Amino acid sequence: MRVWKFGDDIDTDAIIPGRFLTIYDEKELATHAFEGTRDEFSKKAVAGDIIVAGRNFGCGSSREHAPLAIRGAGVQVIIAESFARIFYRNAINTGLLPITSEAAEEIRDGAVISVDTAKGYIESDGKRYPIDPVPAFLLEIIRAGGLVEYARAHPEIKTCSE
């Protein structure tokens, strides 16, 4: 469960460059994750690793290939100071958990950390950090197991005008 530490404004072109967007298989996308900007990631990341980043993680394109490439590498959790809006929602929809926490600033590359989403904290080097709450309507989607499962469980949707 090692930490891969990234800086601010990690954009979707860095996560998965445009030339790989005809790929939809997450394992194959993972072989190109961070290609050109952090080549060791796709070679060394293992299941359970965690990405920790600064502000505005996932800014740029709406490509869902970005969370898929990260998930394909075995990463299930990203902790950042803040996320770009589209990426945040794409991550939740594809089963990758985006966590906003002040811990992101202090946790170093290679650190070993544990995340307890039920109790709402991150532990690293013996220190505990709180996790910012997920907006209620998104929590509903996470609880359903993602947007696909949420949709399957709701054959009818009521809009605000009904």
Residues near another protein (CB under 8 A) are 9, 11, 13-14, 17-19, 21-24, 35-37, 55-56, 59-65, 82, 84-86, 89-90, 93-94, 135-137, 146-148, 151-152, 155, 157-161
CA distances to 17, 22, 110 from 51, rounded to whole Å, are 18, 25, 10
Q: Which is nearer to another protein, 2 or 55 (CB)?
A: 55
What is the crossing angle of helices 136-144 and 85-93, to 10°? 30
SS3 content of the chain, % helix, strand, coil (to 5): 35, 20, 45
Q: How far is the CB of 125 from another protein (least distance, A)?
A: 28
| C-alpha to C-alpha distance for 31 and 28, rounded to whole angstroms | 5
Q: Which is nearer to another protein, 61 or 124 (CB)?
A: 61
Q: How far is the CB of 129 from another protein (least distance, A)?
A: 21
